[in-house]
């Protein structure tokens, strides 16, 4: 076995090792985007290294020159194809997930703001009855029902990007429940709502619900 | 050593196939089922490669894993991606499935063992004729191409007609080509996917041409090339919008191409008859029978390629243009 063959074999081994790491990451990592990262990035490098190793092996192969050249050309074209398609596939998966709102609760607001998606996310102005609004929320990043189940501060920040109510409804909420929110919820809304309370009725709704829940808890105990 | 390796691979791939099959049966998300059926096809294609049936593997990878997955996804876009739960336990379908599966399993008992030398396929006179005579008859190294396009040209003509019929049936069912399109343009074009597709599409088309005209020497031919041509256009339609794709291949032109391929195939057959031969007897097409075979195979493969390309693109158009209703 020539030393070149050995080098090629080691590179292939490294490539497969990286693929294995990607596989482990795909199972172990906590959320969707981290998993996509594990799959996409390691796939590119793992497949790339494997093909590089195979090119070295083909060069070291004891055979006719034209045959080896042909194999190398084929491997290089496969590598180029993978280099183009693999990252795009990862991007497409991640983008589709982002547009569907997968795992939005784990992305900090500041991170979202820095992406171009912050501008892309449409701010819908909803009208009509609650049923109508729900229909209009179909396909939004978060549906009305999902808003109602948001609990953490971070989730509220995300919710700020997509207020489902219009301004009138927001100020109604504000005027009705301001005192309850401020005394009960513990959220200093201006910390994460530069536009002020009026612009976000969801938050108010949530805070109200939290406040009411804590009131109910007190009442039972 | 290599025999053990091949057996291991075969068993591994079959085990994976079984797993994917069970998963498809169990999942209620149709989206996941479509994706897994793509994986199923890819695994089948790998199996065919292990069994040295590269032409079949090629077709399976292009049609099963590629195009049919895309068509299924477009269908899901029209309907919904959740399987509705069955109202009551479905005993009859289960019984039918079990019976069919049992019959198929029973039939496999009659199959010769994988790779044994005295299987009927190896002992039959026809196979021996193909192997010994095909190069002398047509000077084409890929026996599969000779068998498909020349020796069994009738069968392939029938298959092309089936593709044609399928396209016509879908056009009739989904409202025909003359209908005004109600397609909603994609809200945001993804620049990254667009640039990637722009890089890939010329090479996909080039490779399709290679597969079309190199089918005499390597795996490939009209079926695979047609699918690849269609894949290039479908990719274009997916990353831009269908208006731009229709500027390149209008639905009317594609509609004319579907019967044109079949006519080209059949016309070649009738040309042979006009020149004094029998239907699809290519020998009479040129002064030299071998040249005649070349011309004939080239023409019918072109016919197959054109029909498959236009039929698949038409299917995609029909589904994608229908829009959400």
With an 8 Å Cβ cutoff, is B323 touching chain A? no
Spatial contact of B211 and B228, defined as CB atoms under 8 Å apart: yes
Buried b (16+ CB within 10 A) or exposed e, B264-282: bbbebbebbeeeebeebbb
With an 8 Å Cβ cutoff, is A28 touching chain B? no
Which one of A73, A76, A88 makes the best mutation probe of the B interface by having the most chain B beta carbons within 10 Å? A88
Cβ count near A218 (within 10 Å): 9
With an 8 Å Cβ cutoff, is A120 touching chain B? yes
Buried b (16+ CB within 10 A) or exposed e, A74-98: ebeeebeebebebbbbbbbbbbeeb
CB contact under 8 A, B200 and A84: yes
CB contact under 8 A, B196 and A95: no
Q: Which of residues 197-216 of B touch A (CB under 8 A)?
A: 199-200
With an 8 Å Cβ cutoff, is A92 touching chain B? yes
**Minimal Cβ distance to A120: which of B188, B193, B196:** B188
- Chain B positions touching A92 (Cβ under 8 A) are 190, 192-193
Q: CB under 8 Å to B187, separation ≥6 — which residues?
A: none
Q: Which helix (H) or strand (E) holds B110?
A: none
CA angle at residue B140 from B206 to A78, to 5 degrees?
35
Query: How confident is the model at residue A79, as a pLDDT?
Result: 92
Phi–psi pair at B52, nearest 5 degrees: 70, 20
**Minimal Cβ distance to B196: which of A88, A95, A120:** A88
Residue the block writes with tokens 């088309």: B205
Cβ count near A214 (within 10 Å): 14
With an 8 Å Cβ cutoff, is A123 touching chain B? no
Q: Which pair of structure tokens corresponds to residue A167?
A: 């301004």
Q: Provide the 8-state DSSP code for B63.
A: I
Highest mean pLDDT among A102-116, A144-158, B239-253: B239-253
> Using one digit for the tens of pLDDT, what is the confidence trace for A152-196?
444 444 444 444 444 555 555 455 445 544 544 444 444 434 344
Partners of residue B29 on adjacent β-strands = B82
Spatial contact of B156 and B301, defined as CB atoms under 8 Å apart: no
- Nearest CA to A101 out of A76, A77, A120, A125 is that of A120
* Interval A69-75 mean pLDDT: 93
Give the whole-angstrom CA distance, residue B236 versus residue B316: 12
* Interval A41-65 mean pLDDT: 89
Q: How far is B204 from chain A (nearest CA, A)?
A: 11
CB contact under 8 A, A91 and B192: yes
Q: Is the dihedral of CA A104, A106, A107, A110 positive or negative?
A: positive
Phi–psi pair at B224, nearest 5 degrees: -65, -40
With an 8 Å Cβ cutoff, is B187 touching chain A? no
Q: CB under 8 Å to B143, separation ≥6 — which residues?
A: B130, B131, B134
CA distances from residue A72 to A62, A64, A133, B206 in whole angstroms, order as listed? 14, 13, 59, 20
**Minimal Cβ distance to B193: which of A81, A92, A120:** A92
Give the whole-angstrom CA distance, residue A84 versus residue B236: 16
**Minimal Cβ distance to A84: which of B188, B190, B196:** B196
Spatial contact of B292 and B282, defined as CB atoms under 8 Å apart: yes
CA distances from residue A32 to A27, A93, A103, A105, B15 in whole angstroms, order as listed? 10, 10, 7, 11, 28
Q: How far is B167 from chain A (nearest CA, A)?
A: 30
Highest mean pLDDT among A7-11, A118-122, B72-76, B187-191: A7-11
Q: CB under 8 Å to A82, separation ≥6 — which residues?
A: A44, A47, A48, A51
Q: How far is B200 from chain A (nearest CA, A)?
A: 8
- Chain A positions touching B200 (Cβ under 8 A) are 81, 84-85
A61 — pLDDT class (breaks 50, 70, 90): confident
CB contact under 8 A, B199 and A84: yes
* Interval A45-56 mean pLDDT: 93
Choose between A146 and A86: higher pLDDT: A86
Query: How confident is the model at residue A107, as a pLDDT?
Result: 46
Q: CB under 8 Å to B94, separation ≥6 — which residues?
A: none
Choose between B7 and A122: higher pLDDT: B7
Spatial contact of B314 and B167, defined as CB atoms under 8 Å apart: yes
Phi–psi pair at B82, nearest 5 degrees: -115, 130
Choose between A2 and B15: higher pLDDT: B15
Q: Is the dihedral of CA B91, B96, B99, B100 positive or negative?
A: negative
Query: How confident is the model at residue B104, as a pLDDT?
Result: 94
Spatial contact of B137 and B151, defined as CB atoms under 8 Å apart: no
Sites in chain B below the pLDDT cut of 50: 177-187, 324-325
CB contact under 8 A, B193 and A120: no
With an 8 Å Cβ cutoff, is A84 touching chain B? yes
> Using one digit for the tens of pLDDT, what is the confidence trace for B73-90?
888 877 777 777 767 777
With an 8 Å Cβ cutoff, is A115 touching chain B? no
Which one of B199, B217, B219 makes the best mutation probe of the A interface by having the most chain A beta carbons within 10 Å? B199
- Nearest CA to A215 out of A185, A191, A190, A189 is that of A185
Average pLDDT, chain A: 66
Give the whole-angstrom CA distance, residue B283 versus residue B294: 9
Residue the block writes with tokens 């639905």: B251
Inter-chain contacts counted by CB atoms under 8 A, chains A and B = 17
Query: How confident is the model at residue A103, as a pLDDT?
Result: 57
**Minimal Cβ distance to B190: which of A81, A85, A95:** A95
Give the whole-angstrom CA distance, residue B144 versus residue B148: 6
């Amino acid at each position: 076995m020539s030393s070149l063959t050995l080098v090629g074999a080691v590179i292939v081994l490294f490539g497969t090792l990286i693929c294995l790491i990607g596989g482990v990451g795909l199972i172990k990592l906590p959320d969707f985007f981290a998993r996509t990262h594990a799959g996409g990035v390691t796939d590119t490098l793992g497949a790339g290294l494997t093909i590089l190793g195979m090119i070295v092996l083909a060069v070291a192969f004891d055979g006719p020159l034209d045959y080896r050249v042909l194999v190398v050309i084929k491997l290089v074209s496969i590598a180029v194809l993978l280099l183009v398609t693999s990252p795009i596939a990862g991007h497409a998966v991640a983008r589709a997930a982002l547009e569907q709102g997968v795992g939005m609760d784990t992305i900090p607001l500041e991170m979202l703001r820095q992406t171009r998606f912050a501008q892309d996310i449409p701010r819908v102005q909803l009208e009509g009855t609650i049923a109508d609004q729900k229909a209009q929320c179909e396909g939004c990043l978060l549906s009305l029902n999902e808003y109602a189940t948001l609990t953490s501060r971070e989730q509220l920040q995300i919710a700020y990007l997509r207020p489902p109510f219009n301004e009138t409804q927001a100020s109604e909420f504000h005027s009705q429940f301001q005192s309850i929110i401020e005394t009960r919820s513990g959220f200093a809304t201006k910390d994460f709502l530069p536009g002020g309370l009026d612009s976000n009725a969801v938050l108010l709704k949530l805070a109200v619900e939290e406040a009411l829940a804590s009131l109910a808890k007190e009442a039972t105990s | 050593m290599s025999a053990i390796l091949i057996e291991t691979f075969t068993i591994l791939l079959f085990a994976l196939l079984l797993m994917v099959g069970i998963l498809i049966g169990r999942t209620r998300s149709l989206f996941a089922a479509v994706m897994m059926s793509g994986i199923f096809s890819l695994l089948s294609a790998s199996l065919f490669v292990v069994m040295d049936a590269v032409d079949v593997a090629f077709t399976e990878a292009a049609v099963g894993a590629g195009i049919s997955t895309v068509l299924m996804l477009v269908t899901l876009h029209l309907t919904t991606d959740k399987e509705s739960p069955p109202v009551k336990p479905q005993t009859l379908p289960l019984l039918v499935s079990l019976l069919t599966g049992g019959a198929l399993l029973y039939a496999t008992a009659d199959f010769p063992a994988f790779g044994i030398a005295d299987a009927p396929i190896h002992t039959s006179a026809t196979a021996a004729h193909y192997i010994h005579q095909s190069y002398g008859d047509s000077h084409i190294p890929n026996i599969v191409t000779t068998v498909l396009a020349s020796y069994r040209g009738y069968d392939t003509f029938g298959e092309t007609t089936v593709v044609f019929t399928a396209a016509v049936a879908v056009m009739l069912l989904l409202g025909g080509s003359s209908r005004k399109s109600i397609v909603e343009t994609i809200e945001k074009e993804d620049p990254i996917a667009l640039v990637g597709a722009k890089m890939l599409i010329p090479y996909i088309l080039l490779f399709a041409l290679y597969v079309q005209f190199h089918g005499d020497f390597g795996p490939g031919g009209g079926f695979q090339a047609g699918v690849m041509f269609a894949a290039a256009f479908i990719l274009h339609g997916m990353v831009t919008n269908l208006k731009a794709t229709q500027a390149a291949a209008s639905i009317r032109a594609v509609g004319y191409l579907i019967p044109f391929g079949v006519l080209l195939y059949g016309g070649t057959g009738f040309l042979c008859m006009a020149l004094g031969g029998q239907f699809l007897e290519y020998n009479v097409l040129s002064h030299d029978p071998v040249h005649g075979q070349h011309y004939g195979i080239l023409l019918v493969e072109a016919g197959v390629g054109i029909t498959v390309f236009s039929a698949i693109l038409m299917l995609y158009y029909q589904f994608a243009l229908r829009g959400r209703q």
